[in-house]
Structures are given as structure tokens and as C-alpha cells.
Amino acid sequence: MSVFALHTTSGGARRGTLALTHGTVETPAFMPVGTVATVKGIEPRELRELGAQIILSNTYHLWLRPGLDTLVAMGGLHRFMAWDRPILTDSGGFQVFSLESQRKLDDDGVTFRSHIDGSTHRFTPESVIGFEEALGVDIAMVLDECVKLPATPEAIAASVRRTTMWARRAAAARTSDRTAVFGIVQGGLDERMRAQSAEELIALDFPGYAIGGLSVGESRDDMERYTRFTAALLPPHKPRYLMGVGTVRDLIAGIDAGIDMFDCVYPTRSGRHGRAITRAGEYNIRNAGYARDEGPIDVTCDCAVCRTFSRAYLSHLFRAGEMLGQRLLSYHNLAALTSLMEDARAAITSGTWAAFRDAINSAL
């Protein structure tokens, strides 16, 4: 089940709701990444507390461990990880793309070796959709081919051809109305190929579309340019998802381009390495200047961590190598991005998006 309603716009920014099997998501929304059925260091209870509406897990990693049989025996992914709100699963296409020396692509699918034990596995568009549906997730991404940048025109064209072919097969393989299947637009840094990819996928009438192949090493200017270009090609009455983006600046640029959904490991990865995310920029909590700082991580943040602990305490935890520091900072970083989305939605609703956008950008 997937029903998207676009309620209002402010400039290019969009305010909507996405009704899914396990709940309704207010958009624009940021999805914390729970790659292997866990958002690193954060309990489901804490995710609900900090305002997460939907999380992302990864087909590649769950396929390898714990595997389909275990996940089905445990009642599906929601029950397994004690998360009762929506889940989106990436197809694993990007992970396979990153395993360049350990995989072999052909038109039928991709054969790859596990990064865990070297065992051989096979993904096809049908097997990936079957796996995602069996997990009971709310949104399943199709298997696609992401090209390494910079890419030749021939490589981009081949990627678009294969992505469309696999998307057709994935659409035909659907068996469950409880899981919405989203297509993924590819095309590298080539407007003509992105337009072709979007046109071919729109013809398949997916309930939502992702913009893939960006945030993979290109410049920020290129990412923003091709995000805006691609978003404008997509149906306005369906949700638009920019994959793999999670800094404040990039989220603001994405919303301004008309994006509804985002995901990234960045906030929790930063949290594990002592990097605090705020709307005024980022900083390293280990810096000596914070050793006796009684203030919160972010004076404008009302999350449980900022209400309770000082910068001095967080700095101490990281210097002492205590795992609590990583948990607390990851919590704050996720709360900072979910709060940013809440305020963005309010600004779009009130018609003040441009002022909100400019105030954030000027503070960074």
C-alpha cells in the first residue's frame, strides 16, 4: 500500500504525506539508516522518541546475515527488530556496485562474493523483490545498476538500459500490495540519459521514484544540479527520494529541488567519530575547547541529549573511549535532522520556505 498526497508547495519545496502499510510519513522526511536491522547504537524506542517516522534497511546485508529463512521465521523485519513504523529496503544495488572486484554483472542479474565469508550469491530483479516482500517492508527499491563516476557515455547508456530492463522485471514480479515498489532513475552526470531513464521508468507507473547515482563522489555543485534536473522530470503527484544524502546543507538543497525523502548513514557515522551536527555547522566534540564547556551540543536543540548532557561530558566520554559518547552523539545528530525536517515542513506549509532556507544556509 502506498498513497502519496501533495498538500502544498513553497517555491520548489513540497509538503506531503505518504500513507504506507505501517503508518503515514510526513514529507519531506529523513530516514535513519538501519543497514543490518539496527540503526547503529540507537534503540527503536529512541528512534520513536527523537521523531523518526521511517527507517531504511539494506537487502544486500540482510540477505547475507541473518538471511531470509531466519527473518521469515522471526515474523518479518518489523517484528525481528521491534520497529512498528514504516521500513524502506534498498535493493543492495549500491553495495554490489561498490564491490567492483567481487561481482559480475550480466543482463539477467549480478553474481557477487560475500564480503563476510567469500561465499557466492546471485541477485536478480525478481529475487530481490521477492526477498523484500517476504520481509514485509513498506517500500522496496528495485535492483538497479549504479555507474562509477566519472563514467564514459557508453557505460552510462549501458547502466540506463539495464536499470530499465531490471525495473520492468521487478514491476512484473510484484505479488504483495503491502509493499510499494519504487523505481530508481540512473544516468550519471548526463542530462540526456537521466531524461531517458526517467521517461522509461515513469512509463512503468511506479508509486514512487528515487534519484540514484548521485552522492557517489561527484562535486556538490554537480549533485545539486542533477538532483534539481532529475526531480523536475518526475511526476509531481508521486514521492521523490534522493538516495544517500544526509548533511544539513545537502538536505536543504534537496528539499529546495523538490525532494520528499532522504537517507544517509552520515549522522550516525559522524556520531561514532565525535562529529556533532548543528544548523550552524559541524564540529568535533573532542576539541580541547569543549573540555569544560557547560553548554549543550547545540543551544537551539531540544533533544533529550541536549536537555541532559553538556559538551564537557560528551567530550570526556570520547576522550575516555566510552561507548556512551557515540550513542549520545548519534542520537543528537539524528534528532537534529528529524527536527530540521519538521521545521522545513512547517515553513513550506506557512509559505516561508525561502526565508527558512536562506537562514539555514547563511548560518552554515
Query: Coil, helix or strand for 270?
Result: helix
Q: What is the average pLDDT across 33-56? A: 98
**What's the CA gap between 204 and 206, in Å, rounded?**
6
pLDDT digits (tens, 9 = 90+) for 222-273: 999 999 999 999 999 999 999 999 999 999 999 999 999 999 999 999 999 9
DSSP 79-122: HHHT--S-EEEE-SHHHHHH-GGGEEE-SS-EEEE-TTT--EEE
CA-based torsion, 303, 307, 311, 312: positive or negative: negative
DSSP 167-230: HHHHHHH---TTSEEEEEE--TT-HHHHHHHHHHHHTTT-S-EEE-S-SSS--HHHHHHHHHHH
pLDDT, position 103: 87
pLDDT, position 227: 98
pLDDT digits (tens, 9 = 90+) for 24-39: 999 999 999 999 999 9
Confidence of residue 102 (pLDDT cuts 50, 70, 90): confident
pLDDT, position 134: 98
**What's the CA gap between 297 and 309, in Å, rounded?**
8
Q: Which helix (H) or strand (E) holds 285?
A: none
Q: Is the pTM here over 0.95, yes or no?
A: yes
Query: Coil, helix or strand for 344?
Result: helix
Confidence of residue 1 (pLDDT cuts 50, 70, 90): confident
Q: Which grid cell is 353?
A: 520556505
Which is catalytic among the residues 90, 144, 260, 298? Answer: 90
Q: What is the average pLDDT across 207-212? A: 98
Q: Residue 76 pLDDT > 80, yes or no?
A: yes
Which is catalytic among the residues 138, 250, 256, 263? Answer: 263
Confidence of residue 99 (pLDDT cuts 50, 70, 90): confident
Q: Which helix (H) or strand (E) holds 355?
A: helix 353-363
Q: Which helix (H) or strand (E) holds 124?
A: none
Is 90 designated active site? yes
**What's the CA gap between 216 and 200, in Å, rounded?**
23
Q: Which helix (H) or strand (E) holds 11?
A: none
pLDDT, position 142: 98
pLDDT, position 35: 95
Domains in the chain, ordered, with CATH?
A: 2-264 (3.20.20.105), 275-364 (no CATH)
pLDDT, position 96: 74
pLDDT digits (tens, 9 = 90+) for 300-341: 999 999 999 999 999 999 999 999 999 999 999 999 999 999
Is 117 designated active site? no
C-alpha radius of gyration, the chain, whole number? 20
pLDDT, position 329: 98
Q: What is the average pLDDT across 55-60? A: 97
pLDDT, position 185: 98
